[in-house]
Amino acid sequence: GPNMEKYVNQLKKLRNNDPSLDTLDLNSNIVIEDHHGVEIAEALKDNTYCKKVLMNNIRQKDSSASALAEALKVNNTVEILHLENNEIGAEGAIALADMIKVNTSLIEIALNHQKGPFGNDAERALSQAFEFNQTILKFSLTVKDPGARNYINRGVTRNNELARQKRREDIDTSEIVHG
């Protein structure tokens, strides 16, 4: 049917590093299962054009979250990752935290509304990732642990401040070069 065709078509473009695919949109695609997410992750490793990965509400579990995390350790193109309304648990969240430590292209991650809470260990792992990450400007997740929540919020605030400073510097240098 059309849902599977849409998936196969986008996967093919992703694998072929097709410049026309700048947004992978599988939101609410009724045929997608966890193993499809793993295929997407594999294809993302070498892709240099896809900037947005939208995979909300498609029954993704820890295995696809972990595979996406591995891919995004090496992919430096994806800027937006949406994984809301899935079935990702602590294991997937911890894998994503490890990726957040080293990824330098993501500016927005959305993880709200998984089947159950991630738990303290996963929330702390995510918060500790913000010691290292300086690019994420928007992080959507309801964090139960107050310490972890505070740490994430401070990290996101700092990253936004760094981005503002960099924009100001870019403006200053462009004026110097041209003027």
For residue 178, name the pLDDT band (cuts at 50, 70, 90).
low
**pLDDT tens for each residue of 98-118:** 999 999 999 999 999 999 899
| 89 phi/psi in degrees, rounded to 5 | -115, -160
Q: What is the pLDDT of residues 56-102, one digit of tens each?
A: 999 999 999 999 999 999 999 999 999 999 999 999 999 999 999 99
What integer pLDDT is reported at residue 37 of this predicted model?
97
Mean predicted lDDT score pLDDT of the chain = 96
The CB density around residue 142, as the number of other CB atoms within 10 Å, is 12
Cβ contacts of 164 within 8 Å, gap of 6 or more? none
Residue 179 has pLDDT above 60, yes or no: no
Q: In sequence order, which residues have a C-beta less than 8 Å from that of residue 111 and are 6 or more positions away?
A: 83, 84, 88, 93, 96, 139, 140, 141
Q: What is the largest CA-CA distance in the chain?
A: 58
**Beta-bridge partner residues of 38:** none
Q: What is the pLDDT of residues 37-59, one digit of tens each?
A: 999 999 999 999 999 999 999 99
Q: What is the mean pLDDT of residues 119-139?
A: 97
- For the chain, helix (H) and strand (E) counts, in that order, are 6, 5
CA distance 40 to 47: 10
pLDDT band at 153; cut points 50, 70, 90:
very high
pTM: 0.94
In 3D, which of 25, 26, 22 has the Cα closest to residue 50? 22
The pLDDT value given to residue 105: 98
Task: Report the distance separating Cα 141 and Cα 157, nearest Å.
Answer: 15
The burial of 19, by beta-carbon neighbours within 10 Å (0-12 exposed, 13-18 middle, 19 or more buried), is given as exposed
Contact 56, 81 (CB under 8 A): no
Q: Which residue has the higher pLDDT, 51 or 174?
A: 51
